Structure 1
Amino acid sequence: MSIPHARPRWKGFLAAAVVVVCWSGFNIVSRLGGKSTLTPYDLAALRFGVAGSLMLPVYFISRNPLSLRQLLVIASSGGLFYALLIYAGFSLAPAAHAGVLVNGGIPLASAAIAWIWLKDRPNSATLTALILTALGLMVIGFSRFAPGSATPSTGEKYWMGDLCFIGAALCWAYYGLLVRVWNIRPLDAVSGITVGAAVLYLPLYALFLPKGLSGVSTSALLLQGIYQGIIAALVAAFSFA
């Protein structure tokens, strides 16, 4: 199986810059939500509720061509599992850990999955960049996660949060690879993942999952709804795709 390479490079660089800016703010805003009474389930509901509502007309007007199987796979990997894992991570570990493990881990995970699954071996320049990235992550990670960087009472929570961040990076890398392999248009990817995740998740959230919405201010809810549902779920996801 091959991966299409047809989009102009300058568009890719511009999109990457937008993603970096959005994700930098995402780490901070999500950590604020994670330290509040909001549960990871609340943050996921805000993300999919806002984004799914906005993209529902787009999904039907654009006649999204994704098959049911494709829709379920991307909505689960890049939607539900990614969101629940990363928001759980933010409730347990600092935003700096996400910056290392998620933002730095996604390109490494993407390259590894493509190499193992698709036999798409990176060229020498890309391989060198990935090795340097891995070394940089090791250096930063050692300083962030070394003994003494967390108190005994928080150390256990930190490593559990770190595992959530690693899982989120793997989910997003897999989703991004599928977008390329299936040659999904960015608009179709974003409308599919947001609408699909909203349909799958919101009924379960409303009926069964714990909530902490009543313990936060209206302004905090607006901040999380706008950032999670518009900037992270739409702007960043569209740019990434």
Structure 2
Amino acid sequence: MSASSSSALPRWSPRTVGLAAAVVTVLIWTFFIVYARATADPARGGLLTPFDIFYARLWGAGLVLLPWGWWLVRQARRSNPQAGSLFGLSPLSLRHTLIAGVSGGLLYGMFAYSGFVFAPAAHASVLMPGSLPLWTSLLAIGVLGERISGSRAIGLVCIVAGDLLVGGASLLHAFDGSGVWRGDVLFMLASFTWSVYSVTVRRLALEAVRATIAITVLGFLVYVPIYTVLVLVQWVPGHVFTAPWGSVLPQMLFQGLGSVVVSGITFNVMIRHFGPVRSTMITALVPGLSAVSAGIFLGEPLQWNLIAGLALVTLGILFGVRKAAIAPVSGAAHAVSTGARG
């Protein structure tokens, strides 16, 4: 191909790439909740437990990302024999793999899917993506040295109010003696650990593909062998080995390939362009969209609070994504911010 024809090819601007990554991430996260709600509910014919789904998720992602990580490490070790970690499967150092993988992979998955044992998915749609902006804002202040401007604070208030409108009615029964509060706590922990991962990606300026591979490698090497043994010796009521492939394979494809591989990469790209706070404010669209999608695809009722909540979240995002909303307060913070944007 000639230089002239190569230069004639359309080139996406960094802003376009960031916006495309945001759209893909929000869509996948939205349908992740709807799909999990549909398939994990025994009343809808679901055969797999939440822990089975997490197991299938890791296999689906691992079949793609572990060979990918092995290839990246082999390439890197041609110039640096010490590159990579975890048997040459993670392209990040052991320290960075543990920091990112424990929060963004292992703990997030364990907390999120464990929460479905005690609380309905409606709680998850509010407490996981809905509380991300709050956790990430607090962590960004403490870790990255960032400060929240007035417009960003207004955006956060609108997002919190919108999320409460979407899920407040169901959360009122969290302490009615049914044990639902345990799931709510687990969902909040999942949200917090994902916020830790978001800020870690920004602070360490981790590349999107390598970070996604690293968290999958750690989760796969820790969770898959332990859960396999527990199911085989019947210490946990897993059905992943007895359920038909028609139930397991879609989970591997959507939960693994889609939710981990595709959205994992696009989420990291979004963080590098928008920063962790604005990124998690964008994902605050997920609670309202997942509730509306559940009404369309699962027949759940669409009430006034869903529409009002989505409107408030959208308004909060309009305040939150303004360019001047966050300013670093120190030279070190500025170096971290600009370095992460790459």
TM (normalized to structure 2)?
0.62
Equivalent position of 2:168 in the other structure: 142
Tell me: CA distance 1:100–1:220, structure 2 relative to 1, closer, same or farther (3 Å). Answer: same
Residue-by-residue CA offset, 1:38-79 (whole Å, 9 max, x unaligned): 233322211112211211121122235521011012111111
Is the 2:175–2:181 contact (alpha carbons within 8 Å) kept by the matching residues of 1?
Answer: no
Distance 1:74 1:16 in 2: 20
Aligned runs of 1:2-21 on 2, under 5 Å? Answer: 8-21=14-27
The equivalent residue for 1:41 is: 51
Q: How far is the alpha carbon of 1:214 from its aligned partner?
A: 4.7
Are the aligned partners of 1:38 and 1:215 in contact in 2 as well (CA < 8 Å)? Answer: no
SS of 1:121 mapped into structure 2: strand
1:158 to partner: Cα distance? 2.5
2:148 equivalent in structure 1: 122
Higher Rg of the two aligned structures:
2
> Any conservation in 2 of the 1:34–1:87 contact (CA below 8 Å)?
no
Tell me the secondary structure at the aligned position of residue 146 of structure 2: coil
How far apart are 1:104 and its partner, in Å? Answer: 1.1
AA in 1 matched with 2:114: A
Find 1:220's aligned residue among 247, 252, 270: 247
Q: Contact 1:100–1:137 (CA<8 Å) still a contact in 2?
A: yes
Deviations 1:163-212 (A, max 9, x none): 11111100111111111110011011111111221112211112235222
Per the normalisation by structure 1, the TM-score is 0.86
Which of 60, 64, 78 is residue 70 of structure 2 equivalent to? 60
1:141-220 superposed matches below 5 A:
141-147=167-173, 156-208=178-230, 210=236, 211-214=238-241, 216-220=243-247
1:239 aligned residue: 266
Q: Secondary structure at the match of 1:156?
A: coil
Aligned-pair identity in percent equals 32
Which of structures 1 and 2 has the larger relative contact order (alpha carbons within 8 angstroms, sep 6+)? 1
Bigger mean CA deviation after superposition, 105-114 or 121-130:
121-130
Moved over 6 A (4+): none
CA deviation digits over 1:122-153, x for unaligned, max 9?
A: 23332221121122223333223235xx896x
Structure 1: which 5+ runs fail to align? Answer: 1-6
User: Given the alignment, which residue of 23, 29, 43 partners 1:23?
Assistant: 29
